[in-house]
Amino acid sequence: MNDYLPKNELQPEGDPKRPSNTRLAIWIIVGAIGLYLLGSGIWGIVTGG
């Protein structure tokens, strides 16, 4: 293996269009909270409460 090359040249480049893991986790958490609020609101309307 070419150990004399810089580390960034040995690793394959990531996809520049892919969001970071942190941003992905934030979107999943916010989406889950939004779905919960939407679902509880619809459930409240349906049950008349």
**43 domain-assigned:** yes
Angle ∠(12,13,14) on CA atoms, nearest 5? 115
pLDDT single digits (tens) 8-48 = 777 777 777 888 999 999 999 999 999 999 999 999 999 98
**28 domain-assigned:** yes
The pLDDT of residue 12 is 73
**44 domain-assigned:** yes
**46 domain-assigned:** yes
Output the CA torsion 29→32→37→42 (10° steps): 170
What SS3 string covers the chain?
CCCCCCHHHHCCCCCCCCCCHHHHHHHHHHHHHHHHHHHHHHHHHHHCC
What domain range includes position 47? 20-49
**14 domain-assigned:** no
Above 60 in pLDDT, residue 2?
no
The total number of structural domains that make up the chain: 1
**15 domain-assigned:** no
pTM above 0.85, yes or no: no
Q: CB neighbours of 19 closer than 8 A, spacing ≥ 6?
A: 27
**36 domain-assigned:** yes
**10 domain-assigned:** no
